[in-house]
Structure formats: C-alpha cells, structure tokens
Structure 1
Amino acid sequence: MLADDLKRSIQKAYSQFLQAKELKPRYGQKMMIAEIARTLGNIDLDDEGHNIAEKNIAVVEAGTGTGKTVAYLLASIPMAAHYDKTLVLSTATIALQEQVLNKDLPDLLRHSGLKFSFCLAKGRGRYLCLNKLERVLGDIEDSAAAMYEDEVVALSAADRQLYQRMMDKSAEGLWDGDRDSWEQEIDALSWSRVTTDHRQCLGRKCPNIRDCAFYNARAAMDDADVIVANHDLVLADLSLGGGAILPAPENSIYVFDEGHHLPEKALNHFACNARYRGSIRWLGQSEGQWPKQLKALDELSHFVHLAEPLEQRFKACRTVLEDGLPLIRALCESIDLEQYTPRLRFEKGELDADVESLAKEASRHFLALHELLEKLHKEIDTLINEDSRLAPASAMEAMLNLLGIWVSRAEANLNLWQSYRETAFNEKAPWARWITLHTESEPVDYELVSSPVLASGLLNKGLWSRCCGAVLTSATMRALNKFDRFKMRAGLWDNASFEAVPSPFDFSRALLQVPDWALEANRSFEHAQSLIDELPKLIERDQGTLVLFSSNAQMKQVYDAMPDELQHIIRCQGHESKQRIIDGHKRSIDRGRGSVIWGLASFAEGVDLPGDYCRHVIIAKLPFSVPDEPLDAAYAEWVEARGGNAFMEVSVPDASVRLVQACGRLLRTEGDEGTISILDKRLISKRYGGAIVNALPPFKRSF
C-alpha cells in the first residue's frame, strides 16, 4: 500500500517539475505515475531487505507523446529511495540511453526538487585496459596473439599512432578510457587489442588499477541512486549470477524502457554457438604451442604439475571433432547455398542418434578441458595476487590472458555440445537447433547453434522472482490490444499489473489509406511490379517521406527500377550508415528540398522524424516475419505442437506489433500530421486484417 507521505512527495515533485518547465499535466502521464507508484507501493521487505510480496511488477504501454520517461522517473526514484534500493534504468538503444542520461535525468534533478545521484554503467569491454595498451606499445609479445598467428592482423602504423594518442590523452586526463567518448569511431579489431574481460583482468593487482577506467566507473556506481544501463548489460550481469557488474537483483528496482525488446534480448544471451572447423583449428594450435608457452613458467612447479594433462585434453577434444566432421559435412549437404543465410534447421530441435552420440562424447571431453583450464586460470590468478616471485610478472600476466581466452572458448563449446546431447522435443522448455554455413572461409565452416525458444522461464527465475520491483514500458507492449503475447514471452506472473495509458495525440490528423491499386503482397512478383509502377506517382517530390520494406531483396529491386529523378532524392539503406541517411535527410528538408528514406525494419522503430521530416509513411507490405528464421519457425512449431494455430497466434500478433511501430514514425509531436499508405491489400481483404487495423491508433481512414 502506497504510504501517504510517498504519494504526496511524488505529487509535489510532479507539480514542481511541470511548473518549472511550463508544461501542462497529461492524463496518460498522470495515470502512468499513479500505476507505477501503486505497484511499487506493494513491495514488502523482510528483515534481510528482500521483497516477499508478489505484486511488484508494472507493465505499462504508453504511446509517443505520453511523456513516459518523466513518468517512470518521477514515480520510481522516490520509491527506490524509500526502500533503500538502487534504481537500474535499462534501455534497448544507445539513443534513448543518451537522452535519459544527458537530458531527462538532469532536467528532473534541476526542476523536480528530488535529490538523487546517477551514473552510466557499461560492460568492461567498453573501457580501455591500460595494462594491455602498455604491452602493445611496448612490443611485449601477446601469448594469445602469438598462438593464433593466422587470426591476427599485424599492427599497422595507423594503429600504433592511435594507441599512442590513447596513451597520451589518458596520461593528460583528456580521455576517460571510455570507447564511446573517443574522438572518432574505433574499429573492432583495433579496440580488441586494448580492452579486456573479467577472465583476463588482473583486478586489484594490476599496476594501473588507480587509473583503470572500468574500476573508476564501478566506483561511481557504488554511490549512485540511479544507474543507467542497457538490456544487454543487465542480462549479462544476470548470466554471471547477478551482482557481478550491477547491484544484485534483490537490491534493485528495475525500469526497462523499450521493454518489449527484453525477451528477444534474453534469448540472445542464453543461446549457445561454436564454429566446428574453427574449434578444431584453435585446439590444434593450442595443443602444439602449449609446451612453448609453459616454458616461461618452469619455476612454478605446482602450476607445471597441474598443467601436465592439458596437451592431452586439447588433443582429445580435437580428435572427437575431427572424427565427427564427416557426419556434420554430410548433414549440411542438403543446404541450399542460394539462401541469404545458408543453414540447416532441425525440426523441433531434434537431432538423430549419431549427432547426439557425437555431442555426448564432445561434451565429456570439453568438460574435462574446461575444468582443467578453470583450475589453471584460478592458480595463476592466485599467484599473481600473492605477488609470487617464482616467475616474471609479465609471464604470469601473459598466461592469465591466454588462459582466460581458452576458458571462454572451451566454455562455448561445452555449452553447445551439452545442449546437443539430448534433443527430444520438450513442450515445456523447447529448444531450437540449427547449423549455419560460413562460406566466406575456405574450407567452409559450420556454426552449430542452439537457443531456448522461450525466455520466459529464464527471466522468471533469474529476474522477476529475485528483484525488489520492476517496471516495463514502451509504446508497443500489446499485440492485437492484448498483453498476452508479452506476458507469456517475458514469463510474467498473472498478478503483475498491466495498463495501457492513452496518448495525447490527435490521431485524426493522420490519414491511413490502402490505395485502390494495392495488391496482396503474398503475390510477390505482381506486388513488386505494382510498387515499381505506382510508387513514383505516390511519392511527393518536395516533402519528407519514409518508405519501409520487409524484404531486402524487394527493396533493392524496386529501388533499381525507380526513375532517375526519384532515385536522386532517395537515401537507400545499405548505401550509407543509418545515421548518415537520417542526417542527410534532415539537411535536405531543412533546405526546403524533398527527401525519401528507403529502409527496412531498423527504420520502422526508434527513428524520430518530427514535423516536415516525415509527412508520409509508406509501408510496402504487412511486416510478417521471414518464415525461415530458425527461432520464429521453432516457436511456430511449439505453438502447433500444443494444438494452436501458429499463424493466428504468432505471425499475426507479431506483424501487428511491427505495424504499430512502423505507423508510429509519422506522428512524433502533437502538431504533426500526414499520411500512412499501406500497399498491401491483405489489410482489408483478409479476415485477420480487421484485427490488425483495430490494433492501430484511431487514424482517419480512407477505406
């Protein structure tokens, strides 16, 4: 039950904020504040500070214009302070993260009267490792790099110059070691040489610990009332047990903005994958080079004794994979190489007995290898922390780095093969399994992948049952006007709070139309030809237009057929980066010229083009997912196995959510207006089209 003093505190902060900003209260915003405060007010802490109540999760759908960021901050910051918990605010995109960090939180701090501190949290891999930078600049041999010479690109003069600038700016206090604050984008390979992970980090024994960007950022987190993170970091922390990077779930109240992405992100974190030939290669290289690497630590007799079986463990794993290669090669002979992504999906995730037998043997040997590597890694870490003088510090540090890489590679293989051992279909916890061909390498490599089909159980066990409280919000939490889809995929309890708050927008300012010439888009050849014939007539040359496609092939086909004078103002995805397309589009509109963005799904969500930047959104076809995506196909199989209709229960609701997101690109402020054209007759010719239309905002319609 929300205490009266907390209620008054939130109301006062809201009134003060509105007055200072000269804003009017919004009905949907007020509803959202009240719903979040009421839900978090149900938290009941035991003597150890753990929540024992169950009604502590609020799911709120709030459309553009609601002011949801201010709403959830005003409601959750006082609640977190009341319970002495840290508020972890998680977003799905960098753009929203930066907006919250640089605009919304400072605004609230300045104008609401609330007192709180906040900071940004990032993973270790976003920060410079000074120790590794010194090694690179000092030409100290990297054992891990030396082990895999064919995978390493020689250090260029440009990279050496880059690393020297990094060192100089760090020493002068002109750079904080954050990759994202560097003066220009750093490519992945250049950055990988000078960052680290938790297994390679020397921790408190690092000679550069005082100046370590990661540890300095972690220290700031310890004192922060609000930590701004992203979904990937929260999930990575949970995969390490919770509390490894961020505060433990029991000590946190979470807000997940763009929360509809959370189940999908969770699946990515719990998936397993390993490249077959790549694993054979690194095992062989490691096996052959290990005696040379160990020689530098001859004086560490106990470590050397522990390491005696390692070469044999490498060989055993390599032999199993080499013996199984003909089986994997034979399985993949049926793969259509003309596919955009050539792969073989196993129906219901089930494999034949031969593959399961290979998996059991491989997992047995990789378990032994992983256990030994973990033991050696722990031993060398202990020696470093004990300031052992039996071997040079540089040799021990190099060994820690090498073993850290090996542990990660062995663990990836172990997880993969364990998930392939017993693959009988499990209706309660289904898995998807597939093999992707990597034809860019010679010989062709086989990437084996497995993933849970549902993240619900994993999120329920690791997050919802542990956290003090949580808020999930976005503009698209519902599908077909129901929360059922999200509730099931996210593993939320029946007694969670679900609320859809109204948007302040006048949706009648937008016209929704299906042109008379529109065809059913499942007739792909005829539909593409209709777009080629009619789009030049539909697009106004002097205004801002966004054209969205569901298929990359169709997008390119139609673009190539456009007349030159229209191509001249089209900015097509794939020709430039997404940000350059948006920036160029806005410049053209600012100069009074027309501009057309020609894009795929990434432009249908999270793109903000208010006012004249977008007066017309054109959607080529209803955004049904590609049927050969392994996880989508496996999910559909699971629904069918339970007696459901995959098209009506999966494809239609998913398409509805994507269409709402795409249509949401038009009205970005209360004064916006324009047209949404959907060039797919199925919206009005199919029975399911009515349900999809009814889930859209109440636009003015011309059909």
Structure 2
Amino acid sequence: MLTDAIKSDIQSAYSTFLKNRQLRARHGQRLMVAQIARTLGGIKTCSDGNRTGGPHICAVEAGTGTGKTLAYLVAALPIARARDKRIVVSTATVALQEQLMMKDLPDLQKHAEIHFKYALAKGRSRYLCLSRLEQSLEVSDGEQAQTTLSLFDEWLQTNTSKDAIALYQDMAQQYLSGKWLGDRDSWKDSLEEPTWRRVTTDHQQCTNRRCSNFSACAFFKARNDLDDADIIVANHDLVLADLSLGGGVVLPDPKDTIYIFDEGHHLPDKAIDHFAGSFRINASLQWLRLLKKSLTDLNAELGRDEMIVRQLNQLPEILNTLEAELAECYRLLHAITQFSPENMDRDVRPVYRFEKGIVPEALVAIAMNLKISFASLCQKLEVMVKQLKDAMDPDANSAIGKAEGEQWLPLATMLHARAVSAWELWSMYSQPQAEDVMPIARWITLQNQQVDIDLEVSCSPISAAGTLASKLWQPCFGAVLSSATLTALGTFDRIRTRAGLPEDADCLVVPSPFDFNSNGVLEIPTHACDPTQVELHTQQIVRYLQDEVDDKLGTLVLFSSRRQMKDVLEQLPAKMVNEILVQDELTKQVLLERHRTRIDKKQGSIIFGLASFAEGIDLPGDYLRHVVITRIPFSVPDDPVERTLSEWIEQRGGNPFLQITVPDASIRLVQAVGRLLRTESDTGKISLLDRRVLTKRYGTQLLNTLPPFRRVVC
C-alpha cells in the first residue's frame, strides 16, 4: 500500500528538486505524480513480494511541457525501493534514451538529493565482440581463411578491405587502452553495417563464460552495471526481445520490475513488428546452396567430431529437398501474384495480399512441406551449434579444439538462426485460417535481388494485444505508459484495445501548461482542396509555399506521400528549392544541424519531411515558427496489416474507417501539430492544407482533439 513513509519520500524528492532548480510546480505534473503513486502504491503483494492483485497498470497522457519524465521517476522510484523492485524505463527513440542518461537522471540525482544507480541497457549486437575482432585481425595477418568462411563473408558483404582492417586495429587499441567502452553508439565515427557486423555477436552466437574473452567482454561489463542499477534505461525493442526469451535474460525478471514506457503509444506497433516475419526465396536458395557447396570443407575442418559429421552427412538430402520445394513454391507464387517487374520503381514494390489472411490450399501444402524440411535443418544445425559451444568448454572433452569452435560457431549460429526464422514463417503459412479467429496478415512482395528479382513472403499478426497481455502485463509487477498521444478522439479505447491493457488499468489525461490560444494559430486556408484530387492538391501546396511561407523563418512542411513531396519540389522555382532541406537527401541529424545553423545565421530555413519528422523533432523558439501539414495523415491504404485488420473488423460488423483510420490519423495529427510549441514561450502558426477537416463529419472530431490553438479559416 501507499504508506505515509512512501508519500513523504515522494513529496520530499519532488519539492527538493523544484526548490534546487528554482522551478514552480506544474499542475499537470502534480496530477501525474499522484496518479502513478496511487496505482503503483496500491498494488497488493504476498509475503514474498509477488503481486497478488489490485490495478497495476497506469496510462497517463501528458503533453509537451508537463515534465512527465520527472513525474514518473519521482513517483516510481520510492515505491520501487520500498517494494524491492527495479525500474526499467523504455523509450522508442535513441534521442530520449540519451536525454535520460545524460540529463534527466543526473539532474534527478543532484537536485532531488536522492542516491540511486542507473545504467543503459543495449543488446549484444550493439557491443564489440573481442573474439570476432581477433578473428578479423588474424585474417589480416596473412592467415588464409577457409573457403567456406570466405564464401559466406562474400555473400554477407562482410568488409575485409584494408580500410576495414585498419579500423579493426584502431578498435582493438582504443578498447584495450580503456579509451572506448566497446559499444557501437560511442565509437567516434559512424560505422557501416557490414563493417560492424563482422566484429559483433548476438544472443545465439555468444558463448558467455565459455569464451576466452569473457572477463574482458564489453557486453558483460555493461551487463554487470545493470545488476547494480535501480533504474535501467532500455528501448521497446530490447524489452520485447527480452520478454520473448522468457524475461530476465538481459533485463530484470518481469515480476520484480516496474516498467515505464515513455513514448508508450509506439509499443503496440513495435510488438507487431517484433513478431512479424519475412522470407526471400531466391536469397534463401543462395545461402542453402552455399551450405551445400561447403559440406566438403566443413567435413574436413570439423570431421574429428563424430556428432557433427553425422549431422553433415544428413544435410545433402535435406538441402536437395528444400531446393526442390522452394523452386515449386516460387513457381506457384508467380502464378498467384502475376507480378510484372516493369511496374517496380525505387519507391514502390508490387504487393499481393491474401484477403483475410487466407492462402490457397496448394500454398498451405507447400508451406507444410517447407515447415517440415526447415525443422529438420534446424535440428541438424542446432546439434552442430551445441557441439561447437562444447568445444569451447575445457571440461567438455570435445574432439575439436577451442580455436575451431570459436572460428566456426558464428557461421553455424547464423545458419541456425536463418533456418529457425524460415521454420517460423512457413509454420504461420501452413496454418489454415480458422473462422472467428483473428487472422494473420499474409502477403508477397516483388523485390530487387541485386541484378535479379526475388519474391519476399511475409506475415504478421494484426494485433499485439494478446501477446502483450500474456508476456508483459500479466507477469510484470507494475507498469506506466506515458506519452503526449495515448488518447485518440478523446478516449483511451485505442491504446486499451491495441496494447491489450487490463480492464482495471488506471488512465488519466493531464493538462499542458502551454497557452495554446495566445501562442499559436491553426490556419485552414479556404481555398484548400480535397487531397484526393492529387494534381490539384499538389498545385495548391506549391502556390501556398510560394505565396504564404516566409523564407526568413524556420518552417517544417510535412508530407504524407514521398511521391507528392518530390512532385512539389519539381514544380517549385529553383531559387526556393535551394533553400529547402529534404528528408532522404541528408541524414536526420545532419539535416537538423544545417537547419539550426541557417536559423542561427538569420537566413531562414525550410524542411521537407515525411512521417518520421512529424514526431520526435525538437526545434524550440526561432528554429520552428511555421508548421505546414499538407494533408490529414491517414495511414497508407494498401498496408497489408492494416487492410487485413480492416477486413476483420468489417467481418464482425464494425466500421474500420471510424474504428482504426480516423483514430490513427488523430494521433498522427496531434503529433504533427506538437512540433510547433516546445517551450512555454514559443509562438508560431500551423497551416493545414486539407479541406476535409471543414467538410467531413470526422473533420470536426479531428479538430476537437487538437490543442486549443486559435483557429483561423482564411
């Protein structure tokens, strides 16, 4: 229960922080602190500290300027300590992680005058693997790599150039001297994915204590910091990965954890993506044929281990079967999809979606055969991985040496992971779609495969509610979701449904401290047209940008379509185009730096961006005075997951446009207008170039969910 002692600790930390920072208490922030304290403090437990009942999930919508980070930290930390639990703060973006680690948590420690330890959690693939680094440098010293390893390195486009070797030597020197902690994000320069992939590892490849470099391992050094931390900063992907492994693998055990999901509105979509799968037929045939070609080499290198030899001897039959089955599958999919490669361009890939997730019986039969064949391949490769890991254990009495084990394990685990991924996908395709059961979205995409084409087979759940309920909400001790956009059209129904929140979850909207009516204007031009008239709408955007945008101010123009953004650029005069910073032409970081530099020099600057620029962009003051939203940000109508979900809702008598499309657009629109005012003193204007907010019934709903800017129809 929320004891007087815990209440006193929360109040003391909060008031001390405000006093030391010379800040005034914000009404919304105080409400947020109180709600989180009530929920987490009210959790019932048994004698061993495990949760037994009571609401344990809290969702709080708090707009920019509320100070939600301080609110959830100062409310949760005293309760976690009193209950002997640990806090995992999970974010959707690297920028917020950095803000927590570099600013928010140190500030709380210093100004609230409370002592606690905190650490940043990352997956293994963000850290240097010393064993992989040694292997890369051994090759550079003149030792000829085996044919098989060379073939797979070439297929994976792994970088073994002189420049890469020089980079690896620099990495070794920097790490061993203590000047670098071994994580990718703190390396002094950007790293290309193929170059980094050669010197990192993952959960499956890592041999933990069996590794000769275990005591000096960058990942396990960082992991030790987690063991002592009261607060662990992670991201949604890492939390989901840990939960899918059963929980408590990298992060603390869920039953001993209070999760705080900042940017919590992203969690359902992140979970859907996490459990989606894809399989490229020609690309997979390539690695299967490479494996088949390498069997002689593998036998020569690992032939001393009878168990491995037994697996290798059974692989030719499995690989021949898979080649035949995939060739048959490729022919069938071509007949079903009837794709025309001439329709492909850089931005659009032809997609064939199976309506309601139902695939033809012939494809179900092939998928069943592929599931069985990949299961056999998984079994053989799993045995090989175990034997190679045993070779690295001095007590295992292995027939092959530790050096061979370290050298061949990365290849074996990579092949095993690919086989498992393929088995999972074909398992999902081999399941006939049952009636009255939420379908799995299934679709085929035509892809470029170097100089040839390929068919990518994909599937995805259409909802993560059940998964999150069983793997997160049910086992965790407590959780807080926080975001500026948890409600849609004024209710929490969307996040409750999509995230599978318990029925007794506490939900609260707290007011923003901003004076929206005085500081901001929402403008809807009367000559704005319906964006479904694409050419006319594009021309209208061009005219508006030429006539109404002040080129001396910081401006952000948000598009829902990459094609329309390009069309607008092509129709604008060259002089204006030269003043525009365009997403895709520069990295986000470089683009924002150039924008700020221009504004600092009083030059004015215009950014053209897509959906990723409608959220998470922080440009306070003069850096952003005008936001132009070209259209209501409805989701792409041909997204396979969204369309399958729409069919499911229609089948059950619902209206997918009103139940999904409009609420989703509402959240995106709130995020987009949220780019304008970032501090209480900011001022500016938002222009919405979409007439539907004035002419359609849902337009009023969308406008009513926006902050109370002064509205002007001009």
Please confirm whether the aligned pair reaches a TM-score higher than 0.5, indicating the same fold: yes
Segments ≥4 residues shifted beyond 6 Å: none
Counterpart of 2:291, as a letter, is S
SS at match of 1:2: coil
CA distance in 1, matches of 2:620, 2:660: 32
RMSD, matched Cα? 1.6
CA contact under 8 A between 1:335 and 1:343: conserved in structure 2?
no
Name the residue aligned to 2:327: 322
Question: Among 364, 368, 383, which residue is 2:376 paired with?
Answer: 368
Q: CA deviation at 1:147?
A: 4.0
Q: CA deviation at 1:389?
A: 5.8
Question: Among 290, 294, 301, which residue is 1:289 paired with?
Answer: 294
Name the residue aligned to 1:249: 254
TM-score by length of 1: 0.97
User: How many equivalent residue pairs?
Assistant: 703
CA distance in 1, matches of 2:153, 2:171: 26
Q: Deviations over 1:258-309 (max 9, x none)?
A: 0000000001110111111111221122122123212222222344335432
CA distance in 1, matches of 2:288, 2:558: 46
Counterpart of 2:570, as a letter, is D
Q: Deviations over 1:639-697 (max 9, x none)?
A: 11111111111111111111000000111100111111101110111111000010111
* 1:173-188 equivalence runs, <5 A: 173-188=178-193
SS at match of 1:308: helix
Question: Among 398, 402, 409, which residue is 2:407 paired with?
Answer: 398
Q: CA deviation at 1:310?
A: 2.8
Q: Please say if 1:220 is aligned against 2:228.
A: no
CA contact under 8 A between 1:350 and 1:425: conserved in structure 2?
no
CA contact under 8 A between 1:144 and 1:405: conserved in structure 2?
no
Q: Please say if 1:162 is aligned against 2:171.
A: no
Question: Among 454, 458, 471, which residue is 2:480 paired with?
Answer: 471
Counterpart of 1:240, as a letter, is L
CA distance in 1, matches of 2:543, 2:593: 29
Name the residue aligned to 1:136: 136
CA distance in 2, matches of 1:25, 1:101: 23
Counterpart of 1:429, as a letter, is M
SS at match of 2:412: helix
Q: Deviations over 1:551-586 (max 9, x none)?
A: 111111111211233223211112211111111111
Q: Please say if 1:60 is aligned against 2:60.
A: yes
* 1:20-419 equivalence runs, <5 A: 20-139=20-139, 141=145, 143-147=148-152, 149-153=154-158, 155-334=160-339, 337-338=343-344, 340-385=348-393, 386=395, 388=397, 390-419=399-428
CA contact under 8 A between 1:147 and 1:289: conserved in structure 2?
no
Q: 1:420 to 1:54 in 2, by over 3 A?
A: farther
Deviates more, 1:591-600 or 1:288-297: 288-297
CA distance in 2, matches of 1:376, 1:224: 37
Counterpart of 2:539, as a letter, is Q
Name the residue aligned to 1:545: 555
CA distance in 2, matches of 1:426, 1:251: 39
Q: 1:282 to 1:524 in 2, by over 3 A?
A: same
Structure 2: 5+ residue stretches without partners: none
Name the residue aligned to 2:524: 514
Name the residue aligned to 1:693: 703
CA distance in 1, matches of 2:228, 2:544: 59
Q: CA deviation at 1:144?
A: 4.2
CA distance in 1, matches of 2:374, 2:681: 61
Q: CA deviation at 1:177?
A: 0.6
Q: CA deviation at 1:54?
A: 4.2
SS at match of 2:61: strand
CA distance in 2, matches of 1:282, 1:467: 40
CA contact under 8 A between 1:283 and 1:315: conserved in structure 2?
no
SS at match of 2:243: helix
Q: CA deviation at 1:425?
A: 5.1
* 1:563-602 equivalence runs, <5 A: 563-602=573-612
TM-score by length of 2: 0.96
CA contact under 8 A between 1:127 and 1:178: conserved in structure 2?
yes
CA contact under 8 A between 1:683 and 1:689: conserved in structure 2?
yes
Question: Among 626, 641, 653, which residue is 1:631 paired with?
Answer: 641
CA contact under 8 A between 2:211 and 2:392: conserved in structure 1?
no
CA distance in 2, matches of 1:426, 1:673: 54
Q: Please say if 1:651 is aligned against 2:651.
A: no
Q: CA deviation at 1:465?
A: 0.3
CA contact under 8 A between 2:339 and 2:350: conserved in structure 1?
no
SS at match of 1:463: helix
Identity %: 44
CA distance in 2, matches of 1:591, 1:227: 40
Q: 1:587 to 1:694 in 2, by over 3 A?
A: same
SS at match of 1:296: helix
Q: Please say if 1:443 is aligned against 2:448.
A: no
Q: 1:480 to 1:406 in 2, by over 3 A?
A: same
Counterpart of 2:351, as a letter, is R
Counterpart of 2:591, as a letter, is I
